[in-house]
Amino acid sequence: MSDQEGQVILPIIDSHIHLWPSNSLSEYGWRDGSDPDAPGEHYIQEFREATHSAPSLLGYVLVESDRRFDLESGAADGSGWELPLREVGMMRRAALGDYSDGSSPGGDQNREDGSEGRKDPECLGLVPWAPLPSGPAVMERYIDRVREVAGEEAWPKVKGFRYLVQDKPAGTMLEPGFIESLRLLGRRRFVFEVGVDHHRRGKRQLEEMVSMIEKAHDGVPEEDKVTLIINHLCKPDLTIYNITSDPSFHAWRTTIYTLGKCSNTYMKLSGAFSEMPVSLRTQTPLHIFQSTLGWLGIVLATFGPDRIMFGSDWPVCTLGGIAAAAVKAEEGQDEETGKKVVGAGNGSTADPDAWGRWRDVVEKMCWMGSMTDEERAMVFGGTAKKAYRL
């Protein structure tokens, strides 16, 4: 099948989405319930509507959403894991096609959006939260609890774990317990999702990530090295206009080049809308692509089609940076320079077309890179299938 421009329409795996059922909205540390613009329910019905223009969407990887936790009580008696494990229960239902938290499954029925005969995208993989700073012994206990909550039917879809370091104290990911937890994940054949924030935390956090990967892989047999999937291009500052002279861009570029040399490391083409000014987010896909070419081109040249993967970061991509992946505040401080960092704007108006626009931006990147259909297939599904062992 081809589109109007003659390109082969490829099956898509969205490597990065979140689901926020209505009964969980009070459980996220980044969500202020008193804020009238705080994001509401975003569940499978909303995702179905957001992706109605993508009949070739096969499925998605469901990533944890940073529910509140307490490492100390979690390690002591498991009580600090209550909300993340509750999210695992929601993930189990999604993996089994039970959407009773928010909407009924659509199956192969007619839709109000006109997508008659289209099947719902399948949940292909699950990436729950995990307490990596607590060390490998605690991690083993936690993984056992995840298996118990997920149940034997959904457990095979648990492909990895995430612990966001983007808002954690410097040095967190270099602590011995954290490194040993990464090694445990490698031995257990789970991936680790890396969430860092160059836009607000500066080059130091990216340098720590490189050191983390080196320590986690040092002296480990190749088959036991943990696979790392880096989220959101490392969250670069996409408000920069003159990248040729900007030190922040140069620092990000240097780190990307270094990461490209690391084995078992992949990059998600995701999360970019949260780092853009509102004036750019609302432009056409072509304009967005042209404005972000400096970043996308470097990632493509460094990692290549077989190590990058399409991810929408839905529904965060629709919110313009309100939610967790955009960090808790719109203003911060670069840890290297002490310079005030202003976010991309609160973006209180949701963008229902964000998923399709980002897909089109990535398509234009593939065109710019003169990719073959096989290479495009890797970006839009093959790389995710390989990295997550879907």
- On whether residue 77 sits in a domain, the answer given is yes
- On whether residue 185 sits in a domain, the answer given is yes
What pLDDT sits at residue 320?
A: 58
Is residue 1's pLDDT more than 70? no
pLDDT band at residue 151, thresholds of 50, 70 and 90? very high
Under 8 Å between Cβ of 129 and 163: yes
pLDDT band at residue 35, thresholds of 50, 70 and 90? low
Which residue has better confidence, 336 or 9?
A: 9
Is residue 13's pLDDT more than 80? yes
Between 31-45, 82-96, 231-245, 252-266, the lowest mean confidence (pLDDT) is in 31-45
Q: Return d(Cα 15, Cα 313) in angstroms, integer.
A: 8
> How much is the average pLDDT of 11-40?
80
What pLDDT sits at residue 34?
A: 55
What pLDDT sits at residue 25?
A: 80
Structure confidence by residue, pLDDT tens digits, 213-222: 999 999 999 9
Q: Find the helix or strand (DSSP H, E) in which 338 lies.
A: none
Is residue 387's pLDDT more than 90? yes
Is residue 170's pLDDT more than 70? yes
What pLDDT sits at residue 381?
A: 97
CATH number, domain containing residue 196: 3.20.20.140
Helix axes 285-303, 354-368, angle to 10 degrees: 50
Is residue 246's pLDDT more than 50? yes
Q: Is the dihedral of CA 194, 270, 67, 205 positive or negative?
A: positive
- Which one of 29-33, 102-106, 343-347 scores highest in mean pLDDT? 29-33
What pLDDT sits at residue 342?
A: 39
Is residue 325's pLDDT more than 70? no
Q: How deeply is 277 buried, as exposed, middle or buried, from its count of CB atoms within 10 A (0-12, 13-18, 19+)?
A: middle
pLDDT band at residue 3, thresholds of 50, 70 and 90? low
What pLDDT sits at residue 100?
A: 65
List Cα–Cα distances, 11 to 121, 218, 260, 265, in angstroms. Answer: 11, 37, 26, 23
Looking at the 3D structure of the chain, how many domains does it have? 1
- On whether residue 6 sits in a domain, the answer given is no
Q: Find the helix or strand (DSSP H, E) in which 57 lies.
A: strand 57-63
Range of the domain at 201: 12-388
- On whether residue 360 sits in a domain, the answer given is yes
Is residue 278's pLDDT more than 50? yes
> Number of H helices and number of E strands within the chain?
14, 10
- On whether residue 1 sits in a domain, the answer given is no
Q: List the one residue out of 81, 15, 57 whose CA is nearest residue 269.
A: 15
Instruction: Give the count of alpha carbons within 13 A of 346, CB side only.
Output: 8
* E strands, 214-258, in order: 227-230
- On whether residue 121 sits in a domain, the answer given is yes
Structure confidence by residue, pLDDT tens digits, 53-84: 777 899 999 999 999 999 999 999 999 999 99
What pLDDT sits at residue 38?
A: 62
- On whether residue 194 sits in a domain, the answer given is yes
- On whether residue 4 sits in a domain, the answer given is no
What pLDDT sits at residue 324?
A: 34
